[in-house]
């Protein structure tokens, strides 16, 4: 049975990669145990030649197909089926004693394993490199477009039957934070961070990767996040880090190999340098949700992306992104489990899942698109708000083209250049502007631009009083710090030497880089770190 003839996976195994891994093992076993009888061999002939004509219409005909392999000529049986997909049939006359017509199957080469077609065994043409490599499922595996489409179609049916979507998870700064041992600060050493990592404690959240000379800190709430998300999603890990690093982190996050079997994707699996893509995911784009702290690497799939607030636990991470403050580890603090970034995004995922599978919607599940659901949920955040910006953009720029303006619109707000009675918020960095004074006089909300950034990360309208515009006497210092923070964050994104994931965004435009600046005030509530 060829892979194209294989039945759809059962509901108990809805993942395309799990489906294919099982089918490939079965296919290879079939090939290795294939019959090697020659045409005309009595042992391969039908015992009742008189009934041959009657059986031809009811059963698939067994024919002998010659397959060349490295060790010489090898023959095996190929079972013809009328349900063949992606194959063509031709009729030839082959002289085997009395002349007769038989059907010979022409293999469409749905994929290759170790350089050989896993259907017919033909070596791959060196000039033919079409298809996509899926080395994270099986080393040396490459699938053609038709086979990928078939697997995705089967996977989609099973996912929808189980009321599940696909979730692609970034690692560093999203689920974890890592640092090289040589980059540990003196303050972290004095606080005994390496000792905490070496403790034999089943509940610890910081670990030593001895083989890589690194420390890794799990983000608070990550274990519960994975457990609850697995009930709604088939999950993949997708990192720009090396394969060995990705596998080590997967073992920390999923020691029982329940969440990510055959679903750990690293930089060697990418089809484009410094870019991530859904082309290596055996799941339909219409049901794929991405969690990542870096938008730039998902240029082709921004509509599937939920941008995560970066997790900076170690001092080296703060230095890399230009934050001249104590790290969470140096301050002996951490995000709160109850309302940290992962707890927040889990609630967002639950809303997206509920809307997608809403039984009150008349459209068929197969025609729904999670990208439209993400857009809909995002627009709820600042719905009903009308914003006017004051001294936020340089005079030489077009306001509607600026990142913060676009962000507000994506969140459902209406942005305007002039104030009127319908305006609800004035966004400014200066209390002394005419529009800022108008907001105060007319009892409108006057907020700092970070109010919009925080809402973007938290997927919820934030209390305006938490984002006041700095008074004039404190403005100069605050502005200097804010500008330095933003500029350093931009520069930090272009620096990849200390990034375990190896993200290289040197080609990114400045405005794109600024979209990833962390709105630090949105997670100001912290608890003592629990190592």
C-alpha 359/C-alpha 393 separation (Å) is 45
C-alpha 322/C-alpha 368 separation (Å) is 42
CA end-to-end span of the chain, whole Å? 52
CA 245 from chain centre, in angstroms, equals: 17
Q: Calculate the alpha carbon distances from 71 to 67, 68, 75, 76, 443 in Å.
A: 11, 8, 12, 14, 85
Query: What pLDDT is stored for residue 185 in this prediction?
Result: 95
- pTM for the model stands at 0.75
Q: What burial letters (b/e) apply to 95-123, b meaning 16+ CB within 10 Å? A: eeeeeeeeeebebbbbbbbeebbbbbbee
Q: Could you state, in chain order, the average pLDDT of each consecutive group of 10 residues for the chain (531 residues)?
A: 41 51 56 43 43 47 40 38 40 48 75 87 75 92 93 96 98 97 95 91 92 96 98 98 96 96 95 95 96 96 96 96 92 94 97 96 94 97 97 91 96 96 96 95 97 95 95 52 43 45 47 38 39 34
C-alpha 259/C-alpha 238 separation (Å) is 13
What single-letter DSSP state applies at residue 9?
Answer: P
DSSP symbols for 465-497: GGSPPPPHHHHHHHHHHHHHHHHHHHHHHT--T
3-state secondary structure of 130: coil
Query: What pLDDT is stored for residue 531 in this prediction?
Result: 34
Query: What pLDDT is stored for residue 246 in this prediction?
Result: 97
What single-letter DSSP state applies at residue 520?
Answer: G
Query: What pLDDT is stored for residue 119 in this prediction?
Result: 83
Query: What pLDDT is stored for residue 502 in this prediction?
Result: 62
To the nearest 10 degrees (0 to 180), the angle between helices 403-410 and 450-458 is 40
Tokens encoding 116: 């050989």
Q: Scanning the structure block, which residue is given the tokens 């410094």?
A: 274
Query: What pLDDT is stored for residue 471 in this prediction?
Result: 75
Domains of the chain: 109-143 (no CATH), 147-355 (3.40.50.1000), 381-466 (3.40.50.10190)
C-alpha 124/C-alpha 111 separation (Å) is 9
Query: What pLDDT is stored for residue 441 in this prediction?
Result: 96
Are residues 342 and 310 in contact, defined by beta-carbon separation less than 8 angstroms? no
Nearest-CA neighbor of 173 among 232, 114, 217, 119?
A: 217
């Amino acid at each position: 049975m060829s892979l194209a003839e294989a039945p759809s996976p059962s509901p108990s195994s809805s993942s395309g990669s799990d489906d294919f891994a099982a089918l490939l093992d079965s296919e290879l076993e079939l090939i290795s145990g294939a019959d090697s009888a020659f045409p005309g061999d009595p042992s391969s002939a039908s015992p009742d030649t008189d009934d041959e004509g009657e059986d031809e219409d009811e059963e698939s005909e067994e024919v002998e197909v010659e397959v060349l392999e490295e060790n010489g000529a090898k023959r095996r049986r190929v079972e013809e089926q009328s349900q063949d997909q992606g194959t063509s049939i031709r009729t030839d006359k082959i002289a085997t004693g009395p002349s007769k017509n038989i059907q010979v199957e022409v293999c469409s080469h749905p994929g290759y394993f170790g350089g050989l077609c896993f259907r017919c065994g033909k070596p791959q043409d060196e000039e033919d490199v079409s298809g996509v490599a899926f080395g994270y499922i099986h080393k040396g595996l490459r699938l053609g477009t038709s086979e990928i489409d078939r697997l995705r179609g089967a996977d989609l049916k099973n996912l929808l039957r189980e009321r599940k979507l696909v979730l692609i998870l970034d690692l560093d700064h999203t689920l974890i934070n890592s640092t090289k041992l040589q980059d540990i600060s003196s303050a972290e050493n004095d606080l005994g961070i390496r000792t905490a990592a070496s403790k034999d404690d089943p509940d610890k959240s910081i670990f030593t990767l001895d083989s890589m000379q690194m420390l890794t800190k799990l983000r608070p709430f990550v274990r519960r996040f994975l457990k609850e998300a697995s009930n709604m999603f088939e999950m993949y890990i997708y990192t720009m880090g090396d394969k060995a690093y990705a596998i080590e982190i997967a073992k920390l996050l999923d020691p029982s190999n329940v969440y990510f079997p055959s679903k750990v994707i690293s930089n060697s699996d990418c089809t484009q340098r410094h870019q991530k893509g859904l082309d290596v995911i055996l799941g339909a784009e219409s049901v794929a949700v991405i969690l990542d702290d870096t938008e730039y690497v998902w240029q082709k799939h921004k509509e599937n992306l939920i941008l995560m607030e970066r997790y900076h636990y170690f001092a080296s991470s703060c230095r890399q992104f230009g934050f001249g403050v104590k790290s969470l580890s140096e301050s002996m603090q951490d995000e709160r489990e109850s309302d940290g970034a992962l707890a927040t995004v889990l609630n967002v995922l639950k809303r997206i899942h509920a809307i997608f599978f809403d039984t009150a919607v008349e459209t068929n599940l197969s025609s729904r698109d999670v990208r439209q659901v993400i857009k809909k949920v995002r627009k709820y955040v600042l719905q009903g708000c009308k914003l006017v910006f004051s001294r936020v953009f340089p005079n030489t720029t077009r306001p509607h083209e600026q990142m913060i303006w676009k962000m507000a619109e994506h969140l459902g707000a209406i942005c305007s250049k002039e104030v009127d009675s319908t305006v609800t918020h004035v966004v400014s960095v200066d209390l002394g502007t005419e529009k800022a004074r108008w907001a105060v006089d007319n009892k409108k909300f006057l907020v700092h631009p970070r109010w919009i950034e925080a809402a973007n990360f938290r997927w919820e309208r934030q209390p305006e009083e938490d984002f006041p515009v700095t008074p004039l006497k404190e403005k100069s210092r605050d502005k200097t710090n804010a500008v330095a923070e933003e500029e350093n964050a931009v520069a930090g994104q272009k620096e990849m030497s200390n990034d375990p994931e190896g993200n290289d965004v040197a080609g990114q435009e400045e405005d794109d880089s600024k979209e990833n600046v962390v709105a630090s005030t949105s997670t100001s509530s912290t608890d003592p770190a629990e190592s």
